[in-house]
């Protein structure tokens, strides 16, 4: 009865429009009142959830990603992608996917990618007579790739939620091939839709222009190399790498590109503090809610329900994916990672799935939720930047949405896509 009460209270608060963090915490507090548990327990669990050393990397990665955008790195990556992919019919769609993949390698955030790439590419596509809905759909769907390409702060949250034994370095490596695969599939569908709509072909600017654009963008791209190289070589941890990424980004923004000023630096710092506070508050509230679920044996009961329905590993993984997809349409990514990881990770591990592999599956799965109403934060950002109603984008997003589902199924059932690089470096 208490378990149903906990879930019902959460749903009621969410339906009333209460922010996710306060909905989670309120549901926990009211349930503790019903169970006669001291309310201080909820705040103790909340504090413990935010006091994980690994999570220190989150504010630094958020800060570094925003600095890269304000330093103009996004535009330089667009120039590289345009030189590489801009020639075919509808080439700007391919450019958008390529640029989002490159930007994902230095920001790790779907919403940041949708905002940065959208503000640069959506007006450009409209200027070239591309439909607004196409421009928005390409941008928001490809923004999901940033969750797979390292560094991804959501992978840090997953590693913390999964507990000891899940290497952040392995998670970062595991996302590379699935990220490239997903980007490739999105390029195919972007090209097919562009051909169907009769968009114009682009022109190849020549190897000289391509090499120039690439050389100019190298300092920005090198951020990902520093992060991954340092982690894999053991020179520094993931948390230390995030701080180094900030220092490096400040250096190239002020002294290499000279596009980052003191005013924009201060604005970036303020914005990063706000975003970090929201993320950590959500994580803390989700930890408290997860504790309430645990003492009410919610994970055990759900696991028993799933395994009683079928013991076929393929079907179990399909059920888990469907549940995550549905949940992702109603809640933000960070709390879902904290809440659902302890629930589903033991189930999939029982089916023989590696926790690193499941982390990649979860990133893409919940990332799809970021472009799916009614929450769909990346979708709303893209529509706002593109100045079109969300409904207009949703009507024609299905080819891209279906492509992401295909990528999810491939990554789920072909573990070698995720595990080849981690196994190679062990």
**Residue 390 tokens, joined:** 């969300």
What range does the domain containing 359 cover?
24-424
Looking at residue 367, what is its pLDDT?
A: 93
- pLDDT of amino acid 240: 86
In the chain, what is the greatest distance between 2 CA atoms, to the nearest angstrom?
A: 72
pLDDT tens digits, residue range 12-42?
998 888 888 899 999 999 999 999 999 999 9
Residue 9 inside a domain? The answer is no
State how far the Cα of 254 lies from the Cα of 70, in Å rounded to an integer.
11
Of the listed ranges 54-58, 77-81, 238-242, 300-304, the one predicted with least confidence = 77-81
Q: Which residues of 338-356 are buried (b: 16+ CB within 10 A; e: fewer)?
A: bbbbbbbbebbeebebbbb
Better pLDDT: 282 or 411: 411
pLDDT at 373: 82
DSSP codes of every residue in 394-420: HHH-HHHHHHHHHHHHHHHH-THHHHH
Q: Can you tell me the distance from the alpha carbon of 20 to that of 377, in angstroms, rounded to the nearest whole number?
A: 13
| 14 in a structural domain | no
Is residue 388 within 8 A of residue 149, CB to CB? The reply is: no
Secondary structure (3-state) at 108: coil
* Contact residues for 149 (Cβ-Cβ < 8 A; gap 6+): 101, 104, 105, 108, 175, 176, 179, 224
Q: What is the pLDDT of residue 125?
A: 85
Distance CA 335, CA 283 (A): 6
Q: Please compute the mean of the pLDDT values over residues 397-424 and round it to a whole number.
A: 96
Residue 346 lies in a domain: yes
**How big is the CA angle at 173 (ends 339 and 218), to the nearest 5 degrees?**
120
- Rounded CA gap, 368 and 143, in Å? 10
Q: Coil, strand, or helix at residue 89? A: strand
The average pLDDT across 46-52 equals 87
Does the structure show a pLDDT above 90 at 365?
A: yes
Per-residue pLDDT of 294-343, as tens digits, reads 888 887 888 888 888 888 999 999 999 999 998 888 888 888 898 899 88
From residue 278, give the alpha-carbon distance in Å to each of 114, 139, 283, 332, 351: 19, 24, 9, 11, 35
Report whether pLDDT(282) > 90. no
Question: For a pLDDT cut of 90, what percent of the chain falls above it?
Answer: 37
CA dihedral 26, 27, 33, 34 (to 10 degrees): 160
- Residue 107 has which token pair? 């920001």
Give the residue-averaged pLDDT of 235-254: 86
pLDDT at 67 over 90: no
pLDDT tens for each residue of 120-158 = 788 888 888 889 999 999 999 999 998 998 878 889 899
Q: What is the pLDDT of residue 108?
A: 66
**Is residue 155 included in any domain, yes or no?**
yes
Give yes or no for residue 105 having a pLDDT over 70.
no
Contacts of 314 (CB under 8 A, 6+ apart): 413
Instruction: Tell me, yes or no, whether 4 lies in a domain.
Output: no
Between these two residues, 75 and 250, which has the higher pLDDT value? 250
Query: What is the per-residue pLDDT for 78?
Result: 75
What average pLDDT is seen over the chain? 87
* Most confident stretch, 6-20, 74-88, 107-121, 178-192: 178-192
Q: What percent of the chain has pLDDT over 70?
A: 98
Helix axes 40-50, 20-34, angle to 10 degrees: 140
Answer whether residue 247 is part of any domain. Answer: yes
CB atoms within 10 A of CB 51: 12
Rg (alpha carbons) of the chain, rounded to whole number:
21
Rounded to an integer, what distance in angstroms lies between the CA atom of residue 169 and that of residue 226? 13
**Residue 16: inside a domain, yes or no?**
no
Q: Is residue 320 part of a domain?
A: yes
List Cα–Cα distances, 246 to 29, 56, 58, 220, 226, in angstroms: 37, 13, 11, 12, 11
Question: Which phi and psi angles does 89 have, rounded to 5°?
Answer: -60, 135
Query: Which pLDDT belongs to residue 419?
Result: 96
Tokens at 164, concatenated: 């000891």
Q: pLDDT per residue over 181-232, tens digit each?
A: 999 999 999 999 999 998 877 766 777 878 888 888 888 778 777 877 887 7
Whether 93 has a pLDDT exceeding 80, the answer reads yes
Number of domains the chain is built from = 1
């Amino acid at each position: 009865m208490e378990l149903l009460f906990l879930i019902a209270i959460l749903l009621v608060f969410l339906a009333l429009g209460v922010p996710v963090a306060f909905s989670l915490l309120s549901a926990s507090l009211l349930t503790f009142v019903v169970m006669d548990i001291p309310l201080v327990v909820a705040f103790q669990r909340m504090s413990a959830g935010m006091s994980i050393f690994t999570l220190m990397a989150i504010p630094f990665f958020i800060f570094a990603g925003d600095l890269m955008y304000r330093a103009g790195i996004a535009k330089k990556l667009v120039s590289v992608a345009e030189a590489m992919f801009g020639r075919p019919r509808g080439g700007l769609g391919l450019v958008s996917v390529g640029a989002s993949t490159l930007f994902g390698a230095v920001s790790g955030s779907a919403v940041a990618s949708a905002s940065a790439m959208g503000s640069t590419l959506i007006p450009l596509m409209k200027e070239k007579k591309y439909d607004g809905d196409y421009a928005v759909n390409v941008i928001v769907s490809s923004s999901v790739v940033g969750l797979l390409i390292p560094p991804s702060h959501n992978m840090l949250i997953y590693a913390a939620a999964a507990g000891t034994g899940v290497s952040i370095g392995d998670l970062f490596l595991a996302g590379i091939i699935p990220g490239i695969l997903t980007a490739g599939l999105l390029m195919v569908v972007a090209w097919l839709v562009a051909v169907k709509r009769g968009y114009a072909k682009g022109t190849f600017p020549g190897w000289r222009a391509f090499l120039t654009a690439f050389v100019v963008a190298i300092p920005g791209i090198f951020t990902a190399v520093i992060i991954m190289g340092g982690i894999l070589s053991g020179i520094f941890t993931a948390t230390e790498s995030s701080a180094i990424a900030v220092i490096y980004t400040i250096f190239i923004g002020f002294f290499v590109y000279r596009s980052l000023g003191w005013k924009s630096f201060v604005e970036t710092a303020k914005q990063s503090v706000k975003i970090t506070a929201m993320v950590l508050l959500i994580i803390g509230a989700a930890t408290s809610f997860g504790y309430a679920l645990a003492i009410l044996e919610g994970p055990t009961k759900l696991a028993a329900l799933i395994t009683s329905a079928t013991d076929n590993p393929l079907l179990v993984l399909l059920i888990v994916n469907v549940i995550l997809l549905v949940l992702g349409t109603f809640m933000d990514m960070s709390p879902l990672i904290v809440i659902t990881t302890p629930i589903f990770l033991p189930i999939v591990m029982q089916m023989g799935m590696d926790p690193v592999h499941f982390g990649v599956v979860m990133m893409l799965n919940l990332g799809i939720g970021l472009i799916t109403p009614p929450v769909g934060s990346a979708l709303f950002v893209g529509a706002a930047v593109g100045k079109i109603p969300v409904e207009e984008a949703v009507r024609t997003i299905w080819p891209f949405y279906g492509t992401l589902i295909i990528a999810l199924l491939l990554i789920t059932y072909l573990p070698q896509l995720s595990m080849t690089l981690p196994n190679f470096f062990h």
